[in-house]
């Protein structure tokens, strides 16, 4: 009889034990408390990143002018940001070329990838703002 009372008491306390279990506990996942979601990351300042990474985005001899960039937007997976940057550049021979546009991928306030925008598909209708040089 004592054994049954003891087992019944433990079974009654079992559901309550899962309530206090944190996300690092050894209990099965459905019994653990969820880990708190990280606070949303603020969008990166694209203008600052472009100014400090000009040599990475454009060839050094291109002498980019009239820089413009779009605000950063979250990627579909949500683990990075994308933005577009465009500028008037000069060829190696010194001739003015048409405006070049690049799509940037940004993670943790660093440009991790840069690709030339595909005409008609990337960076077409985005809202560009001028990037003013720092003084």
Q: Is residue 23 part of a domain?
A: yes
Q: What would the mean pLDDT of 43-60 be, rounded to a whole number?
A: 91
β pairing state of 81-88 and 65-69: antiparallel
Q: Assess whether 24 and 65 both reside in one domain.
A: no
Helices (H), 20-134: 46-52, 54-57
The string of pLDDT tens digits covering residues 32-45 is 777 776 667 789 99
Structure token digits, residue 111: 């440009």
- Whether 9 and 69 map to the same domain: the answer is no
Report residue 18's pLDDT band, with 50, 70 and 90 as the boundaries: very low
Q: How confident is the model at residue 2 (pLDDT cuts 50, 70, 90)?
A: low
Interatomic CA distance for residues 11 and 79, integer angstroms: 43
* Residue numbers of the domain that contains 64: 46-130
64 and 23: one domain?
Answer: no
Residue 39 lies in a domain: no
Does residue 62 sit in the same domain as residue 102?
yes
pLDDT tens digits, 61-107: 888 999 999 999 998 888 899 999 999 998 777 788 888 999 999 99
> Is residue 21 domain-shared with residue 53, that is, in the same domain?
no
In the chain, how many domains are there?
A: 2
Give domain status of residue 72, yes or no. yes
């Amino acid at each position: 009889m004592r054994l049954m009372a003891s087992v019944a008491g433990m079974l009654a306390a079992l559901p309550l034990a899962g309530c206090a279990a944190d996300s690092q506990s050894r209990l099965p996942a459905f019994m653990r408390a969820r880990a708190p979601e990280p606070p949303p990351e603020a969008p990166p300042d694209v203008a600052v990143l472009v100014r400090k990474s000009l040599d990475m985005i454009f060839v050094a001899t291109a002498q980019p002018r009239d820089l413009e960039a779009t605000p950063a937007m979250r990627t579909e997976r949500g683990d990075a940001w994308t933005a577009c940057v465009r500028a008037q550049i000069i060829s190696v021979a010194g001739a003015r070329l048409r405006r070049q546009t690049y799509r940037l991928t940004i993670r943790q306030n660093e440009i991790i990838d840069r690709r030339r925008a595909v005409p008609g598909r990337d960076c077409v209708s985005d809202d560009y703002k001028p990037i003013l040089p720092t003084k």
